[in-house]
Chain A
Amino acid sequence: MKSRRIVSWFLFALIALTAAMVATTEKSSAIVQQQRSQIAIPIIINVTPSPLAFAPANASANAIVASFVRSAGAPAHYVDPVAALFAGARVVVAQTNQQAVRVEAEVTPNPNATLLTANNFSGPIPGEVVFTGFSGAKLTQSCAYQVKVQTTTVGWNLEQGLSNDFSSGFPGGDLANNTYLIAATPQPVATPFIVFPDNNNAFTEMAKNGGTQTYCVDLTITIPQGLAGGSYGTNAIYTLFF
C-alpha cells in the first residue's frame, strides 16, 4: 500500500515536471527571436548655401600669352625681349584632369532579401531620401518611403533607429518619423529617431505585428540654426525579428 502511494507520487511529480519543462520551452521560444533581415535607408540633408551648389568654372583654354604696353616716350630697347618672345606664342602645358576607377561586385540573389524592404520613395531618387533647405528650416516629406514586411510569420518585431548623427552639431534626433500602417492614418505626433550609438547601441521597437504589412513613414527634419552649408547623411535602419 505504501509502495503504491510512493509510485503514485513519483508519477505525479514526473508529470508535473514534464509539463513545467514543456511550458518553459514554449515560453523561451516565444521570447527568443532571431534577426531575420536588416535594411538601411540613406537620408541626405543638403543644407544651403551648399558647397554642392552648381558653380561653373572653366579651365582657361588659352595658351600662356603676354601682352605689354610701352610708354610712348620709352626707347625701343626698353621692350623686354623675354616678354616679346611669349607674346602670341602658344605654350602647351601637359595636364590630366580626369581619372577613372572601376567598381565591381558579383551579386548572388538572397532568398531572404524580400522579407524586409523599403520602396515607393517620395523623392526623385529611388532608394534614398533627400531634403534640401536652409539652416533653421523645418521640412516634411509625407510618406517619404514605405517599409514592407513580407512574411507568413504570425508574430514578428520591427525595430528602427538611425545609424549615426548627421554631424556633431546636427543630431539625428532632429529627424522625426511618423510611422503608420499604409491603410491607417498618421499618428497624432511625430517621434524623434533614436540614434543607435547614442542609445547604448540599441534600437527601439517600431511595431509588433504578423503577416505581410506595409508602413508609411512621414519624415520631419529641423535643420539647426547656423549650420554650415553642406551635405549631411545618415541611415534609417530597420531590423526584423521573429
Chain B
Amino acid sequence: MRKSVGWIVTAAMLAMTFAPASAQTNVPGAVHVKWFAQAIVKVTLTPNYFTGFGAVKATFGAQPTPTHGPDAGPGVGQGSIDFGNVLSGTDYLYKYAAHLQVTTNSTTGFNLYGEGAADFVNQSGGSEPISSTVFYLNSTSGSPPDTNTGFSGALPFQRTAGTPSSTSFGLPPTIAYTGFPAPIAVSPTPTADFFYDYELKVPPSATGGNYFVWIVYTVVPQ
C-alpha cells in the first residue's frame, strides 16, 4: 500500500516536471530583483614611478639633477621615497614620488585619502610635525615631463586620527578609521590615476638623524 502511494506521488511529480510548457497557463508577472553589490576596490601604489625620480633642492631657475637616498629605487617603481641627505632649514622637491592607480566598481566614483601614520620621526629620538614637513602636489605621468620645483605650491600631509596598525620603520601600516578625514582627491569616475610629487620642508630647528614616516593611502567608494 505504502509502495503504491509512493509511486503515485513520484509519477505525479514527474508528470509536473516534464509536462509540456504549452499545457501550462502562462501568467506574466513582474520580477523585482534588488542587488547589493559589494564595492570592489583595487589600489596599486608605485613609488619612484618614472625615470628621473628623486630629490632636488628648492631652487629658482635651472633645476639640479634629482638625486635620492639609498633606500629609493634602485629601479623605477622600487624602494622608498628617500630624500637622502638634507639640510635643516631647507626645502626639497621629490619628483615622481608616487603613482596611485585606483580601480573600483563604483559608478559614483571614490574618495582618496592620504595621511601619515605618525609624525616625521627621527630614529635617534624626537620628531617633527608631519603637517609642516612633508607635503604633496600633483605631478605628471612623466609625459609631459614634471615641471614642478621645490617652490611649487603643495599641501601638507596630516597625521592620522585613525589607528595605524604599526608605526615601525620596517612594517607598512594600515589605518583603521572610525571617521574619515578630508580626502586628498575625489574621483567622480570608478577608475583614476594619481601622480604625486612630494616636498620636504626641513624645519630650521630639526636635529640631525634619520627621519621617516609612512604615508598611507586609502580608497573609499562613494
- Give the interface of A toward B (CB within 8 A): 37-40, 42-44, 51-75, 78, 80, 83, 91, 93, 95-110, 112-114, 117, 125-128, 163-164, 166, 196, 201, 231-235, 237
Contact with A along B198-222 (1 / 0, CB 8 A): 1011111111111111111111111
Residues of A within 8 A of B173 (CB): 100
Residue of B nearest to A40 (CB): B91
14 sampled A-B residue pairs with Cβ under 8 A: A40-B91, A42-B135, A51-B183, A55-B222, A56-B179, A78-B29, A96-B41, A98-B217, A99-B217, A101-B214, A103-B120, A107-B206, A108-B85, A109-B207
Residues of A within 8 A of B97 (CB): 101
* A122 to B: closest C-beta gap in Å: 14
Counting CB contacts under 8 A, is B89 at the interface? yes
Contact of B216 among A37, A43, A57, A99 (CB under 8 A): A99
Query: Are B218 and A98 interface neighbours, CB within 8 A?
Result: yes
- Contacts A99-B45, A106-B69, A109-B206 given; does A59 touch B220 at CB 8 Å: yes
Mark out the residues of chain B between 19 and 51 whose CB falls within 8 Å of any chain A CB in the assembled complex: 24-25, 27-45, 47
Counting CB contacts under 8 A, is B56 at the interface? no
Query: Are B38 and A113 interface neighbours, CB within 8 A?
Result: no
Contact of A75 among B24, B182, B215 (CB under 8 A): B24
* A113 to B: closest C-beta gap in Å: 3
Report, nearest first, the 8 A-B pairs whose CB atoms are least far apart. A71-B29, A113-B89, A127-B132, A233-B153, A163-B151, A99-B45, A113-B204, A105-B83
Residues of A within 8 A of B161 (CB): none
Query: Are A71 and B151 interface neighbours, CB within 8 A?
Result: no
How many residues of chain B get a CB closer than 8 Å to chain A's CBs?
99
Contact of A74 among B27, B41, B198, B203 (CB under 8 A): B27
* A230 to B: closest C-beta gap in Å: 10
Query: Are B183 and A55 interface neighbours, CB within 8 A?
Result: yes
Contact of A101 among B80, B133, B151, B182 (CB under 8 A): B80
Residues of B within 8 A of A113 (CB): 87-90, 204-205
Counting CB contacts under 8 A, is B191 at the interface? no
Query: Are A44 and B214 interface neighbours, CB within 8 A?
Result: no
Counting CB contacts under 8 A, is B7 at the interface? no
Query: Are A99 and B43 interface neighbours, CB within 8 A?
Result: yes
Query: Are A75 and B155 interface neighbours, CB within 8 A?
Result: no
Interface contacts beyond A55-B183, A102-B71, A110-B88: sample of 14 additional A-B pairs, CB < 8 Å, sorted by A: A37-B89, A40-B58, A51-B183, A75-B24, A97-B218, A97-B219, A97-B220, A104-B210, A105-B212, A106-B210, A108-B85, A110-B90, A113-B204, A233-B154
* A133 to B: closest C-beta gap in Å: 16
Query: Are B31 and A98 interface neighbours, CB within 8 A?
Result: no
Query: Are B38 and A98 interface neighbours, CB within 8 A?
Result: no
Query: Are A98 and B37 interface neighbours, CB within 8 A?
Result: no
- Contacts A73-B27, A109-B88, A109-B207 given; does A95 touch B47 at CB 8 Å: no
